């Protein structure tokens, strides 16, 4: 294999060694400060990238000697890893942080910390500083790997700690990870975003696009597969532009092939793709690689070309549809397509919204993630006139959901009686079937079986397709 080098600011090993030393120092401090092993509660909001960051946070805390709890008011350390993508997510964080005021007052030895995308916005950090004086530590998205040193400062110093450098971002390799599951794992392959879609806060809070070296990703994937992991999801804001900063250049399609070549029975997923960088080569790679799930999450946001332009998405409805049609041509019925949509972008008219409706009718997505536009401070769209009232946007959203419900129900019918290799990932909901699995296309299948099947692939025959889930039984 070629030797790839990232032309980017990889955190030097010496800095990570310093953090490892801080882990030991924190361990000592907390053993003196608390009577028994202190517990940490890490609360994660938002996307899988945040879930992956929280797994690193837990990995470092584990090394520092913390145990873990899901009960905030049982913990000696509560960390809120926040999301800034919509206002609703931010409101929830403020509500939940505020709810800990009394707990902190009664237990002054408890440390309360906030991190993640919300904290990377100066006006939010300022609000925490001013109105939430019981928050001890705030750190931004570019210094997650420095948590041991920051926590040491918060535990031993008299002042509150705010560390939110505004940089283009770094890559920190070798930070310990404590994964939530052992059979399914997230691997971030790139960080940041350069697209600056006009509504989106992500490029401002996550820095510039930077890709991990393929050797590092392959090493992590191999270790996971060897330890029995069955499903690996490759993560990035825009995985299709993976490798642009690498020398020599390596495409996402090439990376997928390298991971597909790892020996073992496992499945590869990836998200999120951007239509502007989604190539025919990538779709061909998906079709050809047996371990790559035939699930394409390709957000289109709007079906109208004027709105797409105002969103700065850099593709047209026609280009999107031609990609989808090519993917369908290559992968046929085995392909499942999902998407993200924004309803009520500033200036969008009902006529323009109807182009989104007609696009979903044409593509027939398996399912959709739909959002009403939420203005984000500092983004260009937040400056645009937005005359449509919220109730009207709500009506459009309901119309979209009703249309998709019919499409989903119709789509699912084609699976009746068919048998799929599914990954059994957990127990079913109380009162329902005992287990839940997912098809290659990421559709949930509920069925009855022994708990020992969790963490394995099983062939399941669909007995009853519902609108969003399938019911099935173990195949004979
Ligand atoms: N308002 C509403 N939805 C948004 N998204 C991103 N920014 C906003 C916003 N300001 C949606 C997009 C994106 C998904 C992760 O969140 O659909 O694909
Ligand atoms: Fe936001 Fe667009 Fe980047 Fe996705 S591609 S994170 S929507 S700016």
The tens digit of pLDDT for each residue in 151-207 reads 999 999 999 999 999 999 999 999 999 999 999 999 999 999 999 999 999 999 999
- Phi first, then psi: give them for residue 317, nearest 5 degrees: -55, -40
Residue 5 scores a pLDDT above 90: no
Which atom of ligand 1 is found nearest the CA of 299?
Answer: 18
What residue owns the CA closest to ligand 1's atom 2?
373
204 lines ligand 1 (CB under 6 A): no
338 lines ligand 1 (CB under 6 A): no
Ligand 2 mean position to 74 CA, how many Å? 37
Ligand 1 mean position to 182 CA, how many Å? 30
301 lines ligand 1 (CB under 6 A): yes
Residue 1 scores a pLDDT above 50: no
Ligand 1 mean position to 123 CA, how many Å? 20
Q: What pLDDT was estimated at residue 133? A: 97
Residue 2 scores a pLDDT above 50: no
What residue owns the CA closest to ligand 2's atom 4?
237
Residue 8 scores a pLDDT above 70: no
Q: What pLDDT was estimated at residue 476? A: 82
The tens digit of pLDDT for each residue in 340-349 reads 999 999 999 9
What residue owns the CA closest to ligand 2's atom 2?
197
The tens digit of pLDDT for each residue in 224-259 reads 999 999 999 999 999 999 999 898 899 999 999 999
Ligand 2 mean position to 27 CA, how many Å? 39
Residue 291 scores a pLDDT above 80: yes
Residue 9 scores a pLDDT above 90: no
Ligand nearest to the CA of 90: 1
86 lines ligand 2 (CB under 6 A): no
pTM of the model: 0.95
Which atom of ligand 2 is found nearest the CA of 313?
Answer: 2
Average the pLDDT over each of 3-12, 296-305, 343-352 and give the range with the smallest value.
3-12
Ligand 2 mean position to 274 CA, how many Å? 8
Q: What pLDDT was estimated at residue 333? A: 86
Which atom of ligand 2 is found nearest the CA of 206?
Answer: 6
Ligand 2 mean position to 196 CA, how many Å? 6
């Amino acid at each position: 294999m070629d030797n790839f080098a990232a032309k980017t600011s990889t955190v030097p090993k010496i800095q990570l060694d310093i953090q490892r030393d801080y882990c030991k120092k924190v361990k000592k401090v907390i053993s003196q400060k608390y009577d028994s092993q202190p517990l940490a509660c890490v609360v994660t909001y938002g996307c899988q990238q945040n879930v992956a960051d929280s797994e690193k946070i837990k990995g470092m805390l584990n090394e520092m000697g913390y145990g873990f709890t899901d009960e905030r008011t049982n913990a000696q350390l509560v960390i809120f890893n926040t999301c800034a993508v919509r206002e609703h997510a931010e409101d929830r964080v403020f509500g939940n942080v505020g709810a800990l005021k009394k707990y902190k007052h009664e237990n002054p030895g408890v440390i309360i910390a906030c991190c993640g995308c919300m904290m990377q916005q100066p006006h939010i950090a300022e609000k925490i500083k001013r109105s939430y004086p019981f928050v001890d530590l705030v750190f931004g998205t570019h210094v997650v790997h420095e948590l041991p040193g920051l926590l040491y400062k918060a535990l031993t110093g008299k002042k509150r700690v705010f560390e939110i450098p505004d940089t283009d971002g770094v890559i920190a390799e070798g930070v310990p990870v404590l994964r939530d599951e052992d059979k399914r794992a997230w691997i971030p392959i790139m960080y940041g975003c350069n697209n600056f879609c006009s509504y989106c806060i992500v490029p401002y809070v996550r820095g510039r696009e930077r890709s991990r070296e393929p050797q590092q990703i392959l090493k992590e994937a191999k270790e996971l597969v060897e330890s029995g992991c069955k499903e690996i999801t490759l993560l990035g804001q825009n995985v299709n532009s993976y490798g642009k900063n690498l020398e020599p250049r390596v495409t996402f399609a090439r990376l997928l092939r390298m991971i597909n070549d790892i020996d073992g029975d496992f499945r590869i997923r990836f998200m999120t793709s951007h239509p502007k960088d989604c190539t025919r080569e990538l779709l061909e790679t998906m079709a050809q690689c047996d371990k790559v799930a035939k699930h394409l999450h390709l957000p289109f946001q709007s079906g109208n070309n004027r709105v797409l332009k105002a969103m700065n998405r850099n593709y047209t409805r026609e280009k999107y549809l031609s990609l989808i049609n090519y993917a369908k041509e290559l992968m046929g019925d085995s392909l499942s397509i999902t998407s993200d949509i924004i309803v009520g972008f500033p200036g969008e008219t009902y006529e323009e919204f109807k182009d989104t409706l007609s696009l979903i009718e044409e593509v027939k997505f398996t399912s959709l993630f739909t959002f009403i536009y939420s203005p984000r401070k500092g983004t260009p769209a937040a400056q645009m006139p937005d005359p449509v009232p919220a109730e009207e946007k709500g009506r459009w959203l309901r119309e979209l959901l009703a249309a998709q419900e019919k499409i989903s129900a119709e789509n699912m019918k084609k699976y009746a009686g068919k048998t799929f290799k599914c990954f059994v990932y957990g127990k079913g909901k109380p009162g329902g079937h005992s287990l839940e699995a997912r098809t290659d296309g990421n559709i949930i299948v509920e069925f009855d079986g022994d708990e020992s099947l969790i963490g394995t692939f099983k062939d399941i025959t669909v007995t009853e397709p519902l609108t969003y889930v399938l019911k099935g039984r173990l195949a004979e």
